[in-house]
Structure 1
Amino acid sequence: MKPASIACIGECMVELTQTDVLGENNSENEKFLKVNFAGDTLNTTVYMARLLKEASASQQTDIAVRYVTALGQDNFSSRMLAAWQSEGIDTRHVYSLSGKLPGLYSVNVDATGERSFHYWRSESAARSLFSDALTQDQIESIASENSLIFLSGITVAILPYESRKQLVNLLKIAKHNGSIIAFDTNHRPALWKDAEDARQWYQQILELTDIALLTFEDEQLLFNDQSVEDTLQRLEHIPELIIKRGSSPCLVKSNGEVQTVVAQKVSTPVDTTGAGDSFNGAYLSSRMLGASPVEACQAGHRLAAEVIMHRGGVIPKEVMPAL
């Protein structure tokens, strides 16, 4: 049996979020931009690293959490790498590419906590992960040495066509070697040529998926699902299927049984950035530690409820809830 380990494949970006700072002489608040490092798969990776590290002492487990990506050789890339290592993330598969830079995005949050994004990522290093960083031996190493591999629709969307094929091949090798494949479509229309292109690639990966962590709004938009029952029926081949619905209860299908898990109540969210990513992190961590799918959903809701009370995709360590 291979050692328990998780590999998350994706992109981390420089995140700019607006923050208020009291002006001189207690004048009106001034607007500043705070720099963080985030991205959907990276957020999930950080939360898994934190939760599993906390659990390791009490449960005598040692589950490695690895991030697979490419960075540049600039100051931001160096700071990213140091930050991940300080979280206990295994960075053996983080590759440094000359002449490349990490992507950048800004988050604008409205009065209800809903966010909108602006991206600068067309030349990001992560887009070149398969074309310029990974050899076939390294692809096979990632596919064979990890018991669970997690990726998102954004992981797929940022890659050129040939690199997407290599990613699917990595997943096929991992599946053949007995790894669990976990996938969140996390659909971002702006990253795709058109909806049909996204559907075709998602369907290829969903055919290999063991744990699907989906958002119903994405399934409505992409596949015209009129109800969660439509989604459940369309993806009945997936052994473990979670359908997230924001503040509404999520649905989880496992062993042929569908159950509803109520979300934590939050009066006024501050920022919903990272809510789904944190849910994924808590869900997968819980499952790796032996929790049932329902218990894992409850853990996901608890963490997401805390995350949306803070700005940015990754919350401070000191406010992390336990699994």
Structure 2
Amino acid sequence: MVPKLICVGECMVELAEVGDGTYRRGFAGDTFNAAWYARQALPGDWAVEYASCIGVDAVSDQMAAFMAGEGVGTDALRRVEGRTVGLYMISTEGGERSFAYWRGQAAAKLLADDPDWLRGVLGQGAHVHFSGITLAILAPDARARFLDVLRDVRGQGVGVSFDTNVRPRLWEDAEVTRAAMMAAAGVSDLVLPSFDEEEALFGDADSAATVARYASAGAGSVVVKNGAAPMLGWDGGETVEVPVVPVARVVDTTAAGDSFAGAFLGARLTGAGLRDAMERAAAVSARVIGAPGALVR
């Protein structure tokens, strides 16, 4: 069988500013972005698929067609009557981005409402990738069901990775967020945090403290991104520090971490060592932040 990477979460309509109050429509979302970049990094004998819920409407059809056109499989999309897909708008200033969201009727919020469907879909993967945003958009009981499904498929031999991607405005409070991050790490083989978010949420003193905390939760590998500072990676037997790739001008940091995740997974799933995978992923991320939008060709 063809090995399959399945990224699971929410893809949204993206409105990216192109100047003079004009916006370009696209489709993006953190784990879909990771799937898109993984598709670029993985050889043709790997499949990449996106698992989510979308609506039964024109924009949902267009999103699914876009995914398929980009080489990301859509068999794991579940259609939900009466729902649609979310929308977000990017504003940038000095290369840093801010977002406005509209996701009240987003079908992806129902992702874990049918755990049997979800278990069947994710169990078909060689590896499953999810994020903190995937968790945050779910109601607390659905969040628990989602993690139970991941625990089940991991027990069947499916690899699991988790990009923490902390967005405080999506969460009930910091205590709930901390508990969810640690629970997610406990069902994951790989955790991909960003130090600034971990410092703010957990009070970590440095990247080594972040690695140690997620390792204590059960993660087998941790790679901590740290802005312009060196990244710290640990995989149980090796600890490496890797500098980021210098960027002449930061245009838009949208998908910096998502592209890193996709490229890193593409490298690791095809046998790259920890340092090599981190260096490849850092190079992709540097290219992405030098251009506008989430998906940079």
TM-score bucket of the superposed structures, by smaller chain? over 0.9
Q: 1:234 maps to what in 2?
A: 213
* 1:159-170 alignment runs, 5 A limit: 159-170=138-149
Q: 2:225 maps to what in 1?
A: 244
- Opposite residue 12 of structure 1, the aligned amino acid is C
Task: State the alpha-carbon separation in 1 of the partners of residues 103 and 80 from structure 2.
Answer: 15
Instruction: Please point out which of 250, 264, 271 is paired with 1:290.
Output: 271
Task: State the alpha-carbon separation in 1 of the partners of residues 49 and 280 from structure 2.
Answer: 21
Instruction: Please point out which of 166, 170, 183 is paired with 2:162.
Output: 183
Task: State the alpha-carbon separation in 1 of the partners of residues 153 and 245 from structure 2.
Answer: 35
Deviations 1:4-61 (A, max 9, x none): 21111100111111112xxxxxxxxx32011111110010011111222xx33xxxxx
TM-score, length of structure 1 as denominator length: 0.88
CA contact (8 A) 1:143 1:173 kept: no
Task: State the alpha-carbon separation in 2 of the partners of residues 77 and 41 from structure 1.
Answer: 17
| Larger Rg over CA atoms | 1
Q: 1:120 maps to what in 2?
A: 102
- For structure 2, the 5+ residue unaligned runs are none
Aligned residues: percent identity?
Answer: 35
Q: 2:55 maps to what in 1?
A: 72
* 1:266-277 alignment runs, 5 A limit: 266-277=247-258
Deviations 1:92-128 (A, max 9, x none): 1101111111111111100x20011111113211001
Task: State the alpha-carbon separation in 2 of the partners of residues 306 and 229 from structure 1.
Answer: 27
Give the total of aligned pairs: 295
Q: 1:222 maps to what in 2?
A: 201
Q: Give the CA RMSD over aligned residues.
A: 1.3
* 1:1-323 alignment runs, 5 A limit: 3-20=2-19, 30-52=20-42, 55-56=43-44, 62-110=45-93, 112-131=94-113, 134=114, 136=116, 138-237=117-216, 238-316=219-297
| Matched residue SS, 2:73 | coil
CA contact (8 A) 2:36 2:72 kept: yes
Change (3 A) 1:191 1:213: same
Q: 1:319 maps to what in 2?
A: none
The Cα shift of 1:3 comes to: 4.8
The Cα shift of 1:209 comes to: 1.3
Task: State the alpha-carbon separation in 2 of the partners of residues 139 and 90 from structure 1.
Answer: 16
The Cα shift of 1:287 comes to: 0.5
Change (3 A) 1:51 1:84: same
Task: State the alpha-carbon separation in 2 of the partners of residues 89 and 119 from structure 1.
Answer: 24
CA contact (8 A) 1:3 1:147 kept: no
Change (3 A) 1:260 1:71: same
